[in-house]
Amino acid sequence: MSETEPNRLIVEARHLVREVEGPTGKLTILDDVSLEVARGESVAITGPSGSGKSTLVALLAGLDVPTAGDVVLAGEYLNRLDEDGRAQLRSGRVGFVFQAFYLMETLTARENVMLPLEIAGRKDAAQIATDWLDRVGLADRQDHYPRQLSGGEQQRVAISRAFAIEPQILFADEPTGNLDDKSSQHIAELLFSLCDSRQAALILVTHDSALAARCQSRIALAGGRLVGAS
């Protein structure tokens, strides 16, 4: 790796292995996976169900730890940090958007977006949340609870929550998987336009070939191994 690469890369995986104990013994979920993602780059992770896509994202984001190998996120080796240290590293740098939205049902749309900002001690959390919900077209839905919103609207709240912290990298795991075609297209446009405007890297897990094709790079997994990259 050249001396300039650490400044260019936002995340790097080196020979990742993830094993778990199964009923019949050790099960390998990921086997010798390496990749690099530059700042501002969009990367699609594709492959059949059970190929290790979500496990790879969890390792790259420091939500899980590898059995072997290294992950370098924002210049820090995750294996040198404990769980609290990894969480601190993610704070203000990493955003997440998931298929299942993961909104707090007892909080309004605005309060859901405010939550990570308040945890970070931002005094202007309410204004930031209001601005982001307005930006994604939910200015008139800010006081609604998740149960009062459509799936597409809930995902826009989740996107606002992810971007409100101004992340350097966004992990999106099947972000359109629970949406109809029209909502899926809207969410895809939001993700790419917001990442582009903020120069945030995007790591996108998807079964949607059209969505994957919009990314600058693509990697394919099968049986826990990297089988293709472009």
| Model pLDDT for residues 57-79, shown as the tens digit of each residue | 999 999 999 999 999 999 999 99
Residue 187 half-sphere exposure, CB side, CA atoms within 13 Å?
29
Give yes or no for a contact between 10 and 169, defined as CB atoms under 8 angstroms apart: yes
pLDDT > 90 fraction of the chain, expressed in percent and rounded: 80
Q: Report whether pLDDT(6) > 80.
A: no
Q: What is the three-class DSSP state of 100?
A: coil
CA distances from 26 to 23, 33, 60, 137 (A): 8, 18, 22, 48
The reported pLDDT for the residue numbered 2 is 35
Reading phi first (left if > 0) and then psi (alpha if -120 to 50, else beta), residue 182 is in alpha
The reported pLDDT for the residue numbered 7 is 63
Residue 230 half-sphere exposure, CB side, CA atoms within 13 Å?
8
pLDDT-wise least confident of 75-79, 110-114, 116-120, 214-218: 116-120
Q: How far is CA 7 from the centre of its chain?
A: 21
> By C-alpha distance, which of 201, 210, 149, 143 is closest to 176?
210
Q: What is the pTM of this model?
A: 0.89
Q: What is the pLDDT of residues 198-214, one digit of tens each?
A: 899 999 999 889 899 99
**End-to-end alpha-carbon separation of the chain, Å?**
20
Tokens at 171, concatenated: 């992990």
Q: What is the mean pLDDT of the segment spanning 14-34?
A: 93
The reported pLDDT for the residue numbered 62 is 94
Q: Report whether pLDDT(120) > 80.
A: yes
The residue that leads in pLDDT, 172 or 6, is: 172
Q: Report whether pLDDT(4) > 70.
A: no
Q: What is the mean pLDDT of the segment spanning 226-230?
A: 86
The residue that leads in pLDDT, 23 or 31, is: 31
Q: What is the pLDDT of residues 131-178, one digit of tens each?
A: 999 999 999 999 999 999 999 999 999 999 999 999 999 999 999 888
Q: What is the three-class DSSP state of 76?
A: strand
Q: Please provide the average confidence, as pLDDT, over all residues in the chain.
A: 92
Alpha helix segments (H runs only) across the chain: 5-8, 53-60, 83-90, 109-119, 125-135, 151-164, 181-198, 209-213
Banded pLDDT at 24 (limits 50, 70, 90):
confident
The reported pLDDT for the residue numbered 172 is 94
> By C-alpha distance, which of 111, 110, 71 is closest to 94?
71
